[in-house]
Amino acid sequence: MSPEVNRVNHFKANLIRIVIPACAVVSALLLGAVMLGTLGANPLSGYVTMFSAAFGNLEGLANTAVKSIPLLLVGIGICIAFRSSVINIGGEGQMVVGALLASVTALAAPDLPSVVFIPLVLTVGFAGGAVWGAIPGALKAYFNVSEILSTIMLNIVAVQIMNFMLRGPMIDPEEVARGTRIPQTARLPENTDLPMLLDGLRVHLGFLIALLAAVAVWVLLWRTALGFRLRSVGLSRDAARYAGIPVKRSIITALAFSGAMAGLAGAILVFGSESHRMVTDGSSTGFTGSAGFNGIVVALFAGLHPLWSIPSALLFGGMLVGANALQRALQVPSALIIALNGLIVVFVVSSEYFRQRVQRGREVAQTLDEPAAGVAAGADPQLERVVE
């Protein structure tokens, strides 16, 4: 085969890889249109409202960018875990623990200049998430405890720790003095406020950090020996073991990194928040906005690729922003968008079957060094073994 033909084939393969999931998204959106119609709203104006609110103007774009930060960070963490064949459903808890430890540090540390203080608290958040991720990792590696179970349970534990800390040791002394006891920390030091990137827009430094983290995770996974080890373990634990790769340590490392990204997301949520405090309404969702779960969707939609996760996070962040606008403009409950997200996931994952049928007979070489691009979640052989 001439290189020319080869290139054309490769191009076709890539095209199919993008077109088919796109068709899946479109069909999910069409179903959403039917639902909108059933709810008595004009589907077209519904979607126009949504997308113009999320992407139609600078403010909308800024909101979308901010909303996408935790989704992206959790998502790239999921890429690390799933690529190593460990499932991490503990993003919610890891975000909470990262945020808590970062807040404690910000409250306890002497007032430092921003250039030192911000990296310090974000690193602590990163580390907090790493610890909360390493626990299920160690339980899996040494006690064979399914990480699906332990990450779910540790979410519950983290929420209660948060409620305890924010109602007790970490509560704003003013709340105690006034007797109102709102479970929130004091205003965190101003030198930990994440600076805005642009004048007049609400996009803060966190967005930049998330983008850099996505690149860093890509480098980690495909340009370092550690990444190679993690992906080898992901492809086949037995083969990795024969090759002399420490499988147990790799599992812990993968979950720790995955948790660390979520912890960083939690810290950024706190220091980039409007209130510059950590507040709880008693649930994890009130703090995370379910980013710990939605980040999984973002990563899967991106084919578990850290760089593809960037547009994926922006898309889903935009949908969340658009959903709120939809609710206000057309009285369509924003719950519709959650249902729609679910359909999109199901459709995209299922579309992989059709992609394979179209490509049958075509030789698509997929090696460790040629990661699957595109948006189909099931595109990677190791995903078949994700749960063990």
Partner 1 sequence: MNDFWTATILVATVASGIRLATPFLLASLGEALGQRSGVLNLGVDGVMLLGAFGAYYAVLKTNNLLLGVAVGVLLGALLGLFYAFITVNLRAQQGISGIGIYLFGLGMSDLLFQKLVGTPRPIMPFAIVRFPVLSDIPVIGEMFFDHSLIVYVAFLLVPLFTFIINRTTYGMNVRAIGENPEAADSLGVSVGRVRYSALIIGNSLAGLAGAALAIELGIFQQNLTNAMGFIAIALVYFGAWRPIGVMAGSLVFGLVASIVLQCKTLGIIPRSASDLAAMAPAVITVLALVVVANRFRQPAALTKPYIRGQ
Partner 2 sequence: MSKSGFYKMIGVLLVLAFCLAPAGAWAGKALKIAIVAPSASNDLAFTQSIVDGIKAVQKERTIELAVTDGTFIVEDAAAAIRDYAQKGFDLVIAHGSQYGGSLKEIAKDFPKTAFAWGTSADTFGLPNVSSYEAASDEGGYVMGVMAAALSKKGGVGVVGPIEVGDAKLFVDGFVAGAKAQKAGIRANVNYIGSFSDVALAAEAARAHMATGADVLTGTAQMVVGAIGAARSRRVAWFGTQANQTELAPEIVVACQVYKWEVILRKILADLDSGVLGGKKYAITLANNGLVIEFNDAYKLPAGVKQAGLDAVAAIKSGKIKPLR
What are the helix and strand counts (H, E) for the chain? 15, 0
Are 125 and 263 within 8 A, CB to CB?
yes
Minimum CB–partner distance for residue 241 and partner 2 (Å)? 44
- Residue 192 makes contact with partner 2 by CB under 8 A: no
**According to CB under 8 A, which one of 143, 180, 225, 369 is a site residue for partner 2?**
180
- Residue 29 makes contact with partner 1 by CB under 8 A: no
- Evaluated on CA atoms 263, 78, 21, 29, the torsion sign reads negative
Alpha-carbon distance of 353 to 253, in angstroms, equals 32
Q: Which of residues 306-335 bind partner 1 (CB under 8 A)?
A: 333, 335
Alpha-carbon distance of 72 to 327, in angstroms, equals 24
Q: Using CB under 8 A as the criterion, what x/- string covers residues 276-305 for binding partner 2?
A: xx-xxxxx-xxx-x----------------
Of 30 and 198, the one with the shorter C-beta distance to partner 1 is 30
Are 214 and 306 within 8 A, CB to CB?
yes
Of 151 and 250, the one with the shorter C-beta distance to partner 1 is 151
Minimum CB–partner distance for residue 175 and partner 1 (Å)? 15
Minimum CB–partner distance for residue 48 and partner 2 (Å)? 10
Minimum CB–partner distance for residue 331 and partner 2 (Å)? 7
Smallest CA-to-CA distance from 206 within 98, 294, 304, 113 is with 98
Task: Write the CA distances from 115 to 108, 112, 134, 205, 210, integer angstroms.
Answer: 17, 8, 29, 12, 18
- Residue 231 makes contact with partner 2 by CB under 8 A: no
**According to CB under 8 A, which one of 145, 201, 216, 226 is a site residue for partner 1?**
145
Minimum CB–partner distance for residue 57 and partner 2 (Å)? 11
**According to CB under 8 A, which one of 112, 145, 329, 345 is a site residue for partner 2?**
329
- Evaluated on CA atoms 237, 239, 240, 246, the torsion sign reads positive
DSSP 367-381: -TTS---SS-GGGSG
User: Which one-letter DSSP state was computed for residue 184?
Assistant: B
Q: Which of residues 47-76 bind partner 2 (CB under 8 A)?
A: 49, 59, 63
Q: Using CB under 8 A as the criterion, what x/- string covers residues 33-52 for binding partner 1?
A: --x---x-------------
Of 14 and 160, the one with the shorter C-beta distance to partner 2 is 160
Task: Write the CA distances from 101 to 94, 151, 167, integer angstroms.
Answer: 11, 19, 15
Which residues would be at the binding site for partner 2 (CB under 8 A)? 49, 59, 63, 160, 163, 167, 178, 180-184, 187, 202, 269, 273-277, 279-283, 285-287, 289, 324-325, 327-329, 331, 333-334
